[in-house]
Amino acid sequence: IQMTQSPSSLSASVGDRVTVTCRASQTINRSLNWYQQKPGKAPKLLMYFTSNLQSGVPSRFSGSGSGTDFTLTITGLQREDFATYYCQQSHRAPYSFGQGTKLEI
């Protein structure tokens, strides 16, 4: 299953609302996770099964979608949100990732 994210990079400002899109090459129902990665760090799970916030993740993060099209939305960007975001399908192995979206100031 191929996962395609858009955009590859995104410039935004503190306080903005941004949306990242992830598209699967075939239906994955709602089996879609999102990760955040900061430079020099391991990825961190943000959201699972499309719209469920991982414990400790701020509520400004939200997710939606089903089938093949999914979105990650950050409402009210904070400085600490500038990072790279990856989607990952958990429908079946191999558990492929999107190519990443770099969110820059």
User: Residue 36: CB partners within 8 Å, gap ≥ 6?
Assistant: 43, 44, 46, 81, 83, 84, 85
- Assess 2 for contact with other proteins (CB under 8 A): no
Q: How far apart are CA 21 and CA 64, in angstroms?
A: 10
**Cβ atoms within 10 Å, residue 70:** 28
| Token digits of residue 75 | 């409402």
Nearest residue to 3 via CA among 72, 83, 68: 68
Radius of gyration for the chain, computed over Cα atoms and rounded to the nearest angstrom: 13
Candidates 15, 99, 104, 105; binder of other proteins (CB under 8 A) is 99
- Assess 36 for contact with other proteins (CB under 8 A): no
Residue closer to other proteins (CB basis): 12 or 45: 45
Q: Which range binds other proteins by CB under 8 A, 9-17, 19-27, 73-81, 87-95?
A: 87-95
In angstroms, give the least distance from the CB of 17 to other proteins: 25
Candidates 23, 43, 62, 82; binder of other proteins (CB under 8 A) is 43
- Assess 10 for contact with other proteins (CB under 8 A): no
Rule CB under 8 A: which residues touch other proteins?
31, 33, 35, 42-45, 48-49, 54, 86, 88, 90, 93-100
